[in-house]
Amino acid sequence: MPRVPPSQPLSEAESAEIRRLRAPLLAWYDANRRDLPWRRTNDPYAIWISEAMLQQTRVETVIPYWQRFLDAFPDVESLARADLDDVYAVWTGLGYYSRARNLKHAAETVVREHDGQLPDTAEGLQELKGIGRYTAGAVASIAFDREAPLVDGNVIRVFARLLGIREDSATRSVVEHLWAVAGELVRGPRPGDLNQALMELGATLCTPRNPACLVCPVRRFCDAHAVGDAESLPIKKKKAKPSRMRAVAAWVERGGKILAVRRPETGLMAGLWELPGGPIEAKDEAKDRLAPVLADAVGLEVRRLEPVGRVEHLFTHRRLELEVFRCVADEGSRVRRKHFVAHRWVEPSALLDLAHAGPTRKAMALLGMTDERSARAARKKRP
Ligand code: SF4
């Protein structure tokens, strides 16, 4: 497609160019679509769950989780009624637990305010907690046949290449331009299939590395293919280096059980279970700080401190360095929660059955405990 400067609204020439993509995209999708379980249903609830899970997570990982989730909570009423811990239990291993929390919150709203029916427009869906512009477009178009556009990472890549956008794809003007392009493209019959075709193209052919241009249904319209610089698009400005964060955590044992604590409902890793501990300063000696940190966070006196190792975990803007220890709680000392909202003494293997985040999974692996997901990953790595 000829290079056009991002503009909004689109010119007539731009609109006409964009609309020429519809027929080849739909024909290709009809012949090549992957047979994914959520494509075999028209149930808006099931489609919504799949879209929530697919944010940040690969299709192959999502498939068994989606099935398990629907077995446990087959409709919006059952999700609204469920205990949040039961929702977390089904979600365990999928990560980004705020998605599970938001799903439950939104289900409660749907039951309370919409008579159990999901809103059938993108605007209505966006009123629900956790449903952003992308998910609203996906659910409205796929489940309700609305001409609602969507733009995600795959779509940005496809459009940047097709339109030859050679500037930072994260700038507001470019992003808005891409939404306008997606809005133009989705107008007409089969909006859900059109959106899925676009995402499928990005996921299977127009991949970040080695795009399969020779079999691409829209290559004759593609600026990057003509120029030969597809792999360098989209242009993404380098992100700022994540800031470093240090913390200590301990496997605190008493009578064969270990202490698990639950984080507050807001902030980083909200509502998740972990080993007790807390932040330390860059200059701190981790071993010296562990006992005071535990005394402050959970009020326990501990002894027999033993360093186990260090794990690292990257959040969106922060890199956590977590020093992990084992220790024993003094018989006489009692848990007094200060920085946590709940605690349990659990069998060591049971901590990973509670909703937990990546750093806890890594720390428990250092301590010889793995959950089903980690064990599967380890098995996969073996030759
Ligand atoms: Fe992507 Fe290549 Fe198709 Fe262009 S021709 S949209 S770069 S796969």
pLDDT tens-digit profile of 209-226? 999 999 999 999 999 999
pLDDT of the residue at 7: 54
Residue 5 has pLDDT above 70, yes or no: no
Q: Best mutation site among 3, 20, 157, 213 for ligand 1, i.e. most ligand atoms within 8 A of its Cβ?
A: 213
What ranges do the domains of the chain cover? 12-232, 243-379
pLDDT confidence bin for 96, thresholds 50/70/90:
confident
pLDDT of the residue at 280: 95
Whose tokens are 């089969």? That residue is 190
Written out in words, the top-level CATH class of the domain with range 12-232 is mainly alpha
Beta-strand runs (E) in 241-331: 243-254, 257-262, 273-274, 277-280, 302-314, 318-329
Residue 382 has pLDDT above 80, yes or no: no
Residue 241 has pLDDT above 80, yes or no: yes
Which residue would you say has higher pLDDT here, 351 or 49? Answer: 49
| Ligand 1 neighbour 222 (Cβ under 6 A) | yes
Residue 377 has pLDDT above 50, yes or no: no
Mean pLDDT of 353-364: 90
Contacts of 146 by beta carbon, 8 Å cutoff, 6+ apart: 120, 121, 122, 140, 191
Highest mean pLDDT: which range of 86-95, 228-237, 331-340, 360-369: 228-237
Kindly list the distances between the CA atom of residue 315 and the CA atoms of 171, 301, 320, 358, in Å, as whole numbers in the listed order: 22, 31, 8, 10
* CATH (one of 2.40.10.10, 3.40.50.300, 3.90.79.10, 1.20.140.10) for 243-379: 3.90.79.10
pLDDT in tens, 141-168: 999 999 999 999 999 999 999 999 999 9
Report yes or no: 297 and 289 within 8 Å, Cβ to Cβ: no
| Ligand 1 neighbour 89 (Cβ under 6 A) | no
Q: What percent of the chain has pLDDT over 90?
A: 77
Kindly list the distances between the CA atom of residue 347 and the CA atoms of 6, 23, 52, 60, 354, in Å, as whole numbers in the listed order: 58, 58, 32, 31, 11
- Closest listed residue to residue 91, CA positions, set 119, 62, 133, 128: 62
Q: Which of 14, 17, 51, 323 is catalytic?
A: 51
pLDDT in tens, 161-181: 999 999 999 999 999 999 999
pLDDT in tens, 29-81: 999 999 999 999 999 999 999 999 999 899 999 999 999 999 999 999 999 99
Residue ranges of the alpha helices (H) in 92-190?
Answer: 98-113, 122-125, 133-144, 153-163, 172-185
**Are 12-232 and 243-379 equal in CATH topology?**
no
| Ligand 1 neighbour 230 (Cβ under 6 A) | yes
pLDDT in tens, 262-316: 999 888 888 899 999 999 999 999 999 999 999 999 999 999 999 999 999 998 7
